Structure 1
């Protein structure tokens, strides 16, 4: 038998060793299923904790302004935009909001950064602006002031409202969020019922 192995080509022996190594590695590898299930449960639990109140989500559905005025709303909407590869619109809008609150000494530097990041043609995260607004913003940045991005920001706000927001209202993301709320409400009702039963039993005792 040893003689037979010796007559085999070296490449065959190497392949056999590789296969044996892979099999032994797989056998030694811990079963990931339990760990994966634990991680999934933790993620789901965390997601449930982050579920906003039904009244808040109802406001998001009523108007885009309600959605944008809510920190949680913007976070959820940004997740949706990311799925559509258009999150740069929200990033730009938020950057403009932060820019308005900056001290005057930092405006010039930050204005150039925002312009180069989002506004100029072929920018890394270029937003969809018409040529007139783009040129007007370029001129504004040369004399940076808190309002130099106002028109560009307004255009992107309208774009999100008229385009992405309408799809967001019918998105699976929002439907799943509403479903999570219903599940939470059922759990809360069940917990309340259990608490009332315990109180009734305690009172009877």
Structure 2
């Protein structure tokens, strides 16, 4: 119970008094180094949790996308238009409706950070002001790149290190390698599943393919032993 009160003082109206009392008994400098380190890690984790909660509530896709997001259900997407997306992944990504529907699919798979990062990079390259470029670069790094980021993307260590080194003086191309890798991941991994998802099949007014399995019926011979024979399809 004491540990809970220490970690979450906001949930107890006596926390402030207890904390002041503890500080009076034991100065902060006398705390062991391990406890100070643990406290710093907890505060950092708490900060990132608050950032993740803020992004979830405000809709980070809206914040980073260069396009205005609208509800797909209210859009009049024709089956013909949606069928074009099955030609190749590029057809999805160059269509605003396609990006929005694909984003909904990724959210259903809990991998929306990929499309949000890709859109953030697209928006990042349109920035002209050096001040805004630095601000957006740090935002993208904090949200998508650094370890334990609230929407951390899956990229290799060397790419992360390269971005970290350039973040103090960012260029418009500093996220290009990471963006291309995320694009390739979505194309090879998520896109095939998207074409067989309910959300896409509903738009194209298709039905998911059904596979019939040959069944076997059980019969008994003269000895009372059960045997199986294939039945008709």
| TM bucket normalised to smaller | 0.5 to 0.7
Runs of 4+ in 1 over 6 A off after TM superposition: none
User: Corresponding residue for 1:66?
Assistant: 91
CA shift, 1:47, in A, is 6.5
Structure 1 gap segments, 5+ residues each = 1-45, 181-205
Give the conservation status (yes or no) of the 8 Å contact 2:143–2:152: yes
Give the conservation status (yes or no) of the 8 Å contact 1:59–1:66: yes
Give the conservation status (yes or no) of the 8 Å contact 1:140–1:149: no
In structure 2, the CA distance between the partners of 1:52 and 1:123, relative to structure 1 (3 Å rule), is same
TM-score where L is the length of structure 2:
0.55
In structure 2, the CA distance between the partners of 1:121 and 1:48, relative to structure 1 (3 Å rule), is closer
Number of equivalenced pairs: 135
TM-score where L is the length of structure 1:
0.62
CA shift, 1:178, in A, is 1.4
What is the alpha-carbon distance in structure 1 between the residues aligned to residue 205 and residue 80 of structure 2? 14
Say which is worse superposed, 153-162 or 132-141, in terms of deviation: 132-141
Q: Deviations over 1:70-95 (max 9, x none)?
A: 00000000000000000011111100
Q: Deviations over 1:26-59 (max 9, x none)?
A: xxxxxxxxxxxxxxxxxxxx96752312332122
Q: Deviations over 1:11-34 (max 9, x none)?
A: xxxxxxxxxxxxxxxxxxxxxxxx
Structure 2 gap segments, 5+ residues each = 1-70, 207-233
Q: Deviations over 1:85-138 (max 9, x none)?
A: 000111111000000001232111110110010011110110111111111121
User: Corresponding residue for 2:117?
Assistant: 92
Which entry has the higher C-alpha Rg, 1 or 2? Answer: 1
Q: 2:186 aligns with which of 160, 175, 185?
A: 160
Identify the structure with the greater strand proportion. Answer: 2
